[in-house]
Structure 1
Amino acid sequence: MFHKEGFKIMTITAIILIAINIITYSLINTYWIKFAILIVSVIFFLLILQFFRNPKRRTAHNNEHIIAPVDGKVVAIEEVYEKEYFKDNRLQISIFMSPINVHVTRHPVGGKVTYSKYHPGKFLVAWHPKSSEENERTTVVVKNDTAGEIMYRQIAGAMAKRIVNYAEVDSEVVQGSDSGFIKFGSRVDVFVPVGSKVRVGLNEKVKGGVSVIADIPS
């Protein structure tokens, strides 16, 4: 299954590749060149398809658990001062996505969206320490009765040139449901209360909508 954000790109790519191969077959007589162009076209299209894949995930809903919003590798676990919304210390868990990861963003908790804002910015590499505050990004806060308010931030990377965010203020969302998409490599930061029990380690690979990354303190 593929994400709806990829339908247009996949269609345009298919049309361009078909056109290239038709022109190649009509203008070039050398068989191995025609065959090489065909193979490269097929491989390129398969890479586009795998980038926009949207596998179904079965989320075990639990208001005491914060689940990974994306697939990727945990690159930071640290206490930071969050100055955009909370204006206090939070525990930040950062997950980096390579171009080969699934790039669907999912809600780490269920509840009511209390904040959703887009910030234009730079396109530093996603693992850069300043990317969380200087890169193009969207910030979303979801509130429920058990977890309180949980923030996650979609951050564009050097390759990612568009962030899609479906979270709207005052809407009710379900834990693990689709909240957006980031095209071509990026990072997501999750901000949880200080004292939360972290369930992942640095460099650990997580699966969006499935892996529990933290427990809310009782």
Structure 2
Amino acid sequence: MAKNDGSAAEGRRRGYLWVLVAVAVVGVLRLAVQVGRDGSDAAVWVIAVLVVALVVVVTVAVVLRRIGALARRVARRRPGAAVVPASAAAEMADVALALGASRRGISGQGGSVVAVAVLPDRLEVWVGKDDEPRWSVPRVQVASVHVASAVFGARHRDAVQVTVRSGAVVLAVVPAYRPMRSMAGSASRQDLERAVREISGAPAVAGG
């Protein structure tokens, strides 16, 4: 198994950040030129804001639906298993490559919809609209389940990582118990700890 140290994801994060900056600058300049040339008034800005808002609303609705649909599908396929809905960190694209699994539907920038099925003998990683797990990890190979920094878009975020005895990362996700937060790569400390407990198979802590 090839070891994933996160350097590829870090390189993509930096590239993505520069792309975002470039797109934002070009967009502002184009709008400014259009306003100056046509003598457009505030209506142009209002329309632009409404269009952006509509795109954001539609995107959020689609992602929320996909997160719920995948978690329900995995629960049906693996009755009795704990299912952790999540958004993939950017490192997951490298994990798939290292494991020889398909990268289809796994964004190199993070944010892809995934779910982790926690079974007595293995962990299964499900992606997007898959009807079968993309890859699985035997429990006997798991060395650690912990919270660590991971790349999500242009930023570093806390994520749940699973490493095996070789030191390779085989899972890096932001739990989506609260999907709206996970879409931005964010999760509360409580949700991160809950995901660590569920993925590691540890009993819940009273009051936790």
Normalized per residue, the structure richer in helix is: 2
Fold similarity call, TM over 0.5: no
Normalized per residue, the structure richer in strand is: 1
TM-score (norm 2): 0.32
TM-score (norm 1): 0.31
